[in-house]
Amino acid sequence: MDDTMWRLWPLDEVVRENAVVGEWGILFGDYLISSWCYRLRPVSADVSAVYLDYFNGAEPFEVAPTLEKFMETLWRNPDEVLEPQ
């Protein structure tokens, strides 16, 4: 976990947490000790958008159009992807 309380999961955890992959993509990281998690959802063969899943019955929503943009934003201004409005 980093100082913003975001954690990128190791591959064994990604495999374990994604035994069944739904339509919203693959879980790969969490925030605030799994208060909510992030998903990679394929957009094309080369690009995956990043979605935030609150596990509250609502559909996950996009926080970044690409994984690259998600990581850039996380580095530059974490609040934009960790606690989006």
Give the pLDDT of residue 70.
96
| pLDDT exceeds 90 at position 84 | no
**Residue 12, both tokens:** 């064994």
Q: Rounded to 10 degrees, what is the CA torsion of 48, 54, 57, 60?
A: -20
Q: How confident is the model at residue 1 (pLDDT cuts 50, 70, 90)?
A: confident
Length of the chain: 85
- CA distances to 28, 35, 65, 66, 77 from 72, in Å: 16, 22, 12, 10, 8
How far apart, in whole angstroms, are the C-alpha atoms of residue 25 and residue 49? 9
| pLDDT exceeds 90 at position 22 | no
**Residue 19, both tokens:** 């035994």
Give the pLDDT of residue 83.
85
